[in-house]
Amino acid sequence: MKKTALVLLASTTLATTPLQAAIAQDQGGDDNAGSPSAGDIIVTARRVEERLQDVPISMTVFNQKALDRQNVFSAKDLATYTPSLTANSRYGADFASFAIRGFTQEARTTTSVGVYFADAVVPRSSPLSASGDGAGPGHLFDLQSVQVLKGPQGTLFGRNTTGGAVVLVPNRPTYDFEGYVEASAGNYDMKRVQAVLNLPVSESFRLRFGVDTQERDGYLRNISGVGPRDFADVGYVAARVSAVADLSDNVENYTVISYTRSKTNGAASRTTDCYASSAAGVATNGPNGYSCQQIQRERDAGDLTVTNALPWAYQKLETWQIVNGGAKVGHSAA
């Protein structure tokens, strides 16, 4: 018997701002498509479940065990183990953006690599700067797989994905009562806790709950004496609730609600000079603007020392997303 499914999706998003080698393979298609076996890697790169070797797309695939083994919890970590994938985190981990094969993002423009969670675009941060892909800390936990598709994907994914797409597939609720709690610690006073509970309420309704939280001190020390002690720290909490309801023998509804809140000191760079006469000018606020204003004051004062209390720097990102899908499942003879 062969099972086919037609899925309709609706997504609501809101964002506010102030592998040991992984299971991976890069290849083209295989004309001799057979039936899946226990050892096959199943992907959804073309909106249907297929064996990896049958998909004519260059891609790299990770399962949850591979992500855990390599301690992948952010966009930058994912790029470390994925050929041709890079992550730009100069605006902080929460605003990281992907690039594949050199298709990079310029400031104030949309990224060339889309990130999709449960077949819906992940919430994005502010468009006022590099907007990020929405795959920062808190998104990469309790996943069935992560699929990195290389090359233009606009036909199937419906938005600007000239560089490629990163597809996050969360674990769906199952019929088993199960769960786990995992705690870890590391340098810079890092503490992380993940917990997942799968609850089969009835034969036709299943729930899955997940929480991921981490705190870590920053590794960029602030020696100015003004503002926070360090930068590039990590502090987030992410929660997820998913539900599957069997409406009939061949119709089901799948809903995922996710929430992420991150508050850190942000990233920091060292300003060495300012060029106010340049065509782009100099920002009048923000860390770079304050630094440039202070540099100008020190120049005007000559040998005198000028001090100035800067605003306390911090970065806050809060996102939530609801993805709802209805599937009509039919059967036909193989």
Q: Of the candidates 109, 202, 226, 119, which has an alpha carbon nearest to the alpha carbon of residue 165? A: 119
Contact 226, 215 (CB under 8 A): no
Other C-beta atoms within 10 Å of 194: how many? Answer: 19
Contact 27, 58 (CB under 8 A): yes
pLDDT of residue 289: 54
pLDDT of residue 244: 96
Name the pTM for this structure.
Answer: 0.73
pLDDT of residue 178: 97
279 CB contacts (<8 Å, ≥6 apart)? none
CA dist., res. 180 & res. 194, Å (int):
8
Contact 305, 294 (CB under 8 A): no
pLDDT tens for 271-322 read 666 655 544 444 444 445 556 666 666 667 666 655 555 555 566 777 788 8
pLDDT of residue 195: 97
Contact 188, 216 (CB under 8 A): yes
pLDDT of residue 179: 97
Q: Of the candidates 217, 221, 234, which has an alpha carbon nearest to the alpha carbon of residue 93? A: 234
pLDDT of residue 196: 97
CB-neighbour burial class of residue 308 (10 A; exposed 0-12, middle 13-18, buried 19+): exposed
Contact 147, 173 (CB under 8 A): no
pLDDT tens for 48-76 read 888 888 888 899 999 888 888 888 877 88
For residue 69, give both structure tokens.
């083994």
3-state secondary structure of 66: helix
Contact 75, 148 (CB under 8 A): no
Average model confidence (pLDDT) across the chain: 75
> E strand or H helix at 102, and its extent?
none
For residue 158, give both structure tokens.
């419906």
For residue 205, give both structure tokens.
């309704």
User: Bigger pLDDT: 88 or 326?
Assistant: 88
Contact 322, 254 (CB under 8 A): no
CA dist., res. 66 & res. 293, Å (int):
47
pLDDT tens for 9-33 read 444 444 433 333 344 445 444 444 4
65 CB contacts (<8 Å, ≥6 apart)? none
**Residue 103 per-residue DSSP state:** B
pLDDT tens for 148-189 read 999 888 888 876 688 899 999 999 999 999 999 999 999 999
3-state secondary structure of 308: coil
Sketch out the chain's domains with CATH numbers. Answer: 15-29+42-266+315-332 (2.40.170.20)
- List residues bridging with 256 in a β-sheet: 242, 323
pLDDT of residue 294: 62
3-state secondary structure of 326: strand
CA dist., res. 263 & res. 238, Å (int):
12
Q: Answer yes or no: is pLDDT of 234 > 70.
A: yes
Helices (H), the chain: 64-69, 75-80, 154-157, 286-301
Mean pLDDT of 70-96: 82
pLDDT of residue 324: 87
Q: Which residue reads 């797409």 in tokens?
A: 165
